[in-house]
Amino acid sequence: MGSLLAISTALLLCFFFQVQGQNRHKEGTSTGNKGCDLFRGSWVLDDSYPLYETAECPFIEKEFDCQNNGRPDRLYLKYRWQPSGCNLPRFNGEDLLRRLRGKSLLFVGDSLSLNQWQSLTCMLHTAVPQAKYASVRTGDLSTFTFPRYDVKVMFSRNAFLVDIVSQSIGRVLKLDSIQAGKFWKGIDVLIFDSWHWWLHVGRKQPWDFIQDRNHTYKDMDRLVAYEKGLKTWAKWVDGNVDSTKTRVFFQGVSPDHSNGTLWGEPEAMFCKGQVRPVRGSVYPGGPHPAELVLERVLRAMSTPVYLLNITTLSQLRKDAHPSVYGHGGHRDMDCSHWCLAGVPDTWNELLYAALIQK
Ligand SMILES: *[C@@H]1O[C@H](CO)[C@@H](O)[C@H](O)[C@H]1NC(C)=O
Ligand SMILES: *[C@@H]1O[C@H](CO)[C@@H](O)[C@H](O)[C@H]1NC(C)=O
Ligand SMILES: *[C@@H]1O[C@H](CO)[C@@H](O)[C@H](O)[C@H]1NC(C)=O
C-alpha cells in the first residue's frame, strides 16, 4: 500500500514537472532546446486564428489582401503551425514592442521580405490599435514607427543584397560587391532574405551581365551565382556586424507552388483552387535546392546568424498563396507571395520566439 502511494506520488510529481516543462516551452524555446526544433512540425486547425483581420490593418498592401480581392474560402486562415516537440509561444505584440523599446528592426530583401514586414506591422498594430503609428516611404526604404514605444520596423527593398551597377556595357550584377551595407549598420535586428530574383530571365531579369571578380559573364548557373552573392553578403556580415549589439536573421527560402508534381497533384494548375495544406510534416517534393545553398553559406560564417528555417513549413502551404486573388484581383497567378493574414504571420511568430528566448 505504502509503495503504491509512493509510486503514485512519484507519478504525480513526474506529471507536475512535465507540465512545468511545457509551460516553460510556451514561454519560448527554440532549436537550441534539446529535442525541439521549432521548424519541424505540421499545420493544425485552430479556431483562434487568424491573428488579425485585414480590415483591422488599414495600411495593408492590396496585393496581399486576398479576402478583399475576392478569395471565397477562409479555411486557409485557420491553420496554426504546431512544432512536433514543443509549443510556439503565443505572439504578444505589446510584449514585443516593450522588449524592442528604443530599437530598430530592419528587413532587407525582396517582396517576400516585404510580405513578412507587412505581416509584422499588421500584427503589431492590431495588438496595440490605440497606439499611434507612422508609416513613411522614402525611395526603397519603408519605415513604420510606434512613437509610444520608440520602435522602428523598417523594410529596405534589395533583391540581390549584392550590387547592380550601370556601366557602359549595360547593367552589371556584381557578385563581389555590397554598397548597401552602409545602411545596415547600427540596426539592432537585421532580417535578410534573397532568392527569387536570382531566377528571373528575360524581361524580369534586371541585369545584362554578371561580374565575378575580374570576369564578366553573359550568364551563369543561377544557383552558383546565388552562392557567390551570398558568400559576399556573409563576408560583409562577418566583417561589419558586432553580434553583441545586433542580432542577425535570415529568412529561409520561401517556396512557390507552380508545379503540382512536387506535392502529388500533377494535374494542378499552379496553386489555383488549393484550399488545404499538405498533410503531415514532410513535403513530397523534398528540400528546395536554394535552401541547401543558403544553409551551406550560413554554416561557414563566424557571426551567429539565426536561420528562420521556414522553407519546409511553407512548402506544406500550397493553399496559402494569393493565386488569382493577388495584385489587382483576378489578373495574374501569384503562387509566390502569401496572403495576409497567413503564412508570414507564422514566420513572425517564429521570429518572436527567437527574440524572446535568451
Ligand atoms: C531546416 O529544416 C529542415 C526541415 O525540418 C531540416 O531538414 C534542415 O536540416 C533544417 N536546417 C537547419 C539549418 O536547421
Ligand atoms: C584582377 O584585376 C586587377 C586589376 O584590375 C589585377 O591587379 C589582378 O591581378 C587581377 N586578378 C586576377 C586574378 O586576374
Ligand atoms: C515539375 O516537377 C517535376 C518533378 O521534379 C519535373 O519532372 C517536371 O518537369 C516539372 N514540370 C514543370 C512544368 O516544370
Q: Kindly write down the DSSP assignment for every residue of 210-274, as one continuous string.
A: EEETTEEES---HHHHHHHHHHHHHHHHHHH--TTT-EEEEEPPPP----GGGGT-TT--TTTT-
pLDDT at 358: 64
Q: Does residue 327 lie in a domain region?
A: yes
Helix (H, G, I), strand (E, B) or coil at 174: strand
Any ligand 3 atom below 6 A from CB of 261: yes
Nearest CA to ligand 1 atom 13: 295
pLDDT at 350: 98
- Would you place residue 176 in the very low, low, confident or very high pLDDT band (cuts 50, 70, 90)? very high
The predicted model scores a pTM of 0.89
Q: End-to-end CA distance of the chain, in Å?
A: 46
Residues 134-155: what's their mean pLDDT? 97
> How far, in Å, is the centroid of ligand 3 from the Cα of 262?
8
Q: Of the residues 199, 256, 257, 261, which should be mutated to test ligand 3's pocket, given the most ligand atoms within 8 Å of the CB?
A: 261
Q: Of the candidates 262, 193, 246, 211, which has an alpha carbon nearest to the alpha carbon of residue 355?
A: 246
- Would you place residue 329 in the very low, low, confident or very high pLDDT band (cuts 50, 70, 90)? low
Q: Does residue 144 lie in a domain region?
A: yes
pLDDT at 120: 98
Q: Does residue 56 lie in a domain region?
A: yes
Nearest CA to ligand 1 atom 1: 309
Which residue range(s) make up the domain with 192? Answer: 2-19+39-356
> Which ligand 1 atom is at minimum distance from the Cα of 307?
13
Cell of 340: 495576409
Any ligand 3 atom below 6 A from CB of 262: yes
Q: Of the candidates 79, 81, 52, 82, which has an alpha carbon nearest to the alpha carbon of residue 67?
A: 52
Residue 342 pLDDT > 80, yes or no? Answer: yes
pLDDT at 332: 80
> Which ligand 1 atom is at minimum distance from the Cα of 299?
13
Q: Report the C-alpha gap between 271 and 336 in whole angstroms.
A: 9
pLDDT at 327: 77
> How far, in Å, is the centroid of ligand 2 from the Cα of 213?
8
Residues 184-207: what's their mean pLDDT? 97
DSSP H stretches of helix in the chain: 2-26, 93-99, 111-127, 222-240, 289-299, 311-315, 343-356
Q: Does residue 334 lie in a domain region?
A: yes
Q: Does residue 222 lie in a domain region?
A: yes
Q: Does residue 173 lie in a domain region?
A: yes
Task: Please tell me the total count of domains within the chain.
Answer: 1
Q: Does residue 281 lie in a domain region?
A: yes
Residue 251: strand pairing partners: 308
Q: Report the C-alpha gap between 60 and 54 in whole angstroms.
A: 7
The catalytic residues are 111, 334, 337
Residue 288 CB burial class (10 angstroms; 0-12, 13-18, ≥19): buried
Any ligand 3 atom below 6 A from CB of 259: yes
Task: Write the single-letter amino acid at 179.
Answer: Q
Cell of 169: 556595357
> How far, in Å, is the centroid of ligand 2 from the Cα of 214?
6
- Would you place residue 357 in the very low, low, confident or very high pLDDT band (cuts 50, 70, 90)? confident
Parallel, antiparallel or unpaired: strands 104-109 and 79-83: unpaired
| Residues 140 and 156 sit within 8 Å (Cβ to Cβ) | yes
Any ligand 3 atom below 6 A from CB of 159: no
Q: Of the candidates 356, 343, 340, 309, which has an alpha carbon nearest to the alpha carbon of residue 80?
A: 343
Q: Does residue 32 lie in a domain region?
A: no
Q: Within a 10 A sphere around the Cβ of 83, how many other Cβ atoms? A: 22
Residue holding cell 563581389?
Answer: 176
Cell of 273: 483552387
Per residue in 14-48, pLDDT (tens digit) is 333 333 333 333 333 344 455 589 999 999 999 99
Residues 286-299: what's their mean pLDDT? 97
pLDDT at 19: 33
198 secondary structure, DSSP code: G
